[in-house]
Amino acid sequence: MHQHHKPSSCYLCPLCGAPLPLKPSTKSYICENNHHFDLAKEGYLNLLPVQHKRSGEPGDSKQMMQARREFLEAGYYEPMAKTVAMMLKASQPTHLLDLGCGEGYYSRKIEAHCSNLMMLHGVDIAKFAIRAAAQKQPNARFIVASSNRLPYADQYFDFVLRVFAPSNDDELRRILKPSGLLLTVTPGPRHLWQLKELIYAEVREHALENVVPQGFERIDTQRVSYKISPIPQQRIALLQMTPFAWRANESAQQAIKDADQLDIETDFILTLAIKTAH
């Protein structure tokens, strides 16, 4: 029995929206309308009802997940992850949500760098990613759900982290407490420039996304950029993590693999915003 699954209704039933508490001394979450959700043996909760799935296995493919895992575990994004943890630590949140957490890489980095007084939650639509995250980090609470319908109680979180993940502005506003914080990581202008040079005839700088949703105010921005030199198969893993992977034909992929020594720029923009009253 996981001690950290105390009876609390931080969850909402994904079928009817009622609070979803843990039934005492069981592993079942049951709402007042008797909808049941059981903790998986790995300790995560699947709150993505079949009727909300657009495909059999929503989220990134297993192959993409594998590629991302190998790349991240090799530490190439560690400096950015550390900056995220430090920005977060400064605000000492009690309930943190890692939105689109995948296999929990950033959640684990946060746990390693911050005190464990914080309750860490992670959500992703890919079940096998959540299963892996839950196995690696038993002190966090992971669920399978869509970021468009987050089954969390209103104003439950004081901090939401969003690293390269889609989100729904209304849902972000709903689940964050008044003055709650949102930390968003997006690609900077020069992100992965050298990979793009091998794919596109003409490379343009990434347009900066306006990542501050309505009802939030930007309070801090940090830019983290440095060079990485991944080995050939990890360059391909990195490519597979990008939205422009589908533009890379076989000869571009071959060129990325064959490049002698490829130093690739990383460029991240970290934007911290606060939820405002109105």
pLDDT of the residue at 233: 87
Q: State how far the alpha carbon of 201 is from the alpha carbons of 170, 192, 206, 254, in Å.
A: 39, 15, 15, 16
pLDDT of the residue at 59: 65
**β-pair partners for 181:** 159, 274
Mean residue pLDDT across the chain: 90
Q: Is the per-residue pLDDT at 68 higher than 50? A: yes
| Confidence tier at 187 by pLDDT (50, 70, 90) | very high
- Any idea what the Cα angle at residue 235 is, between residues 234 and 237, rounded to 5°? 60
Tokens 């995948």 appear where? 102
The neighbour count for residue 260, using CB atoms within 10 Å, is 4
Distance, CA of 145 to CA of 98 (rounded, Å) = 12
One-letter amino acid at 14 equals P
Contact of 84 with 106, CB cutoff 8 Å: yes
| Confidence tier at 53 by pLDDT (50, 70, 90) | low
Higher pLDDT, 84 or 5: 84
SS3 23: coil
| Confidence tier at 208 by pLDDT (50, 70, 90) | confident
Q: Is the per-residue pLDDT at 100 higher than 80? A: yes
Q: Is the per-residue pLDDT at 225 higher than 90? A: yes
Can you tell me the mean pLDDT for 186-191? 94
* E strand or H helix that includes residue 186: strand 176-187
**β-pair partners for 183:** 161, 272
| Confidence tier at 244 by pLDDT (50, 70, 90) | confident
Closest CA to 145 of 267, 56, 45: 45
pLDDT of the residue at 196: 93
Q: Is the per-residue pLDDT at 2 higher than 60? A: no
Q: Is the per-residue pLDDT at 6 higher than 50? A: no
Can you tell me the mean pLDDT for 168-174? 95
Closest CA to 89 of 60, 112, 59, 123: 112
Q: Is the per-residue pLDDT at 1 higher than 60? A: no
Listed in sequence order, the residues at least 6 apart from 66 whose beta carbon sits closer than 8 Å to its beta carbon are none
pLDDT of the residue at 190: 95
* Superfamily of domain 49-275, CATH level 4: Vaccinia Virus protein VP39 (3.40.50.150)
Q: Is the dihedral of CA 213, 214, 216, 219 positive or negative?
A: positive
Q: Is the per-residue pLDDT at 148 higher than 80? A: yes
Can you tell me the mean pLDDT for 234-258? 90
pLDDT of the residue at 4: 46
Q: Is the per-residue pLDDT at 129 higher than 50? A: yes
pLDDT of the residue at 245: 86
Q: Is the per-residue pLDDT at 13 higher than 80? A: yes
Q: What is the DSSP letter of 166?
A: -
Q: Is the per-residue pLDDT at 183 higher than 50? A: yes
Q: Where are the alpha helices (DSSP H) in 156-249?
A: 169-175, 193-197, 232-240
Can you tell me the mean pLDDT for 28-48? 96
The rounded percent of the chain whose pLDDT value lies above 90 is 76
pLDDT tens-digit series, residues 16-37: 999 999 999 999 999 999 999 9
Can you tell me the mean pLDDT for 110-114? 92
Q: Can you spell out the DSSP letters for 37-102? A: EEBPTTS-EE---GGG-SSSS-SS-HHHHHHHHHHHHTTTTHHHHHHHHHHHHTT--SEEEEET-T
Q: Is the per-residue pLDDT at 84 higher than 90? A: yes
Q: Is the per-residue pLDDT at 5 higher than 60? A: no
Which letter, b or e, does each residue of 221-242 get, where b requires 16 or more Cβ atoms within 10 Å of its Cβ? ebebeeebebeeebbbbbbbbb
Q: State how far the alpha carbon of 38 is from the alpha carbons of 22, 77, 101, 107, in Å.
A: 9, 34, 21, 23
Which residues of the chain does CATH 3.40.50.150 include? 49-275
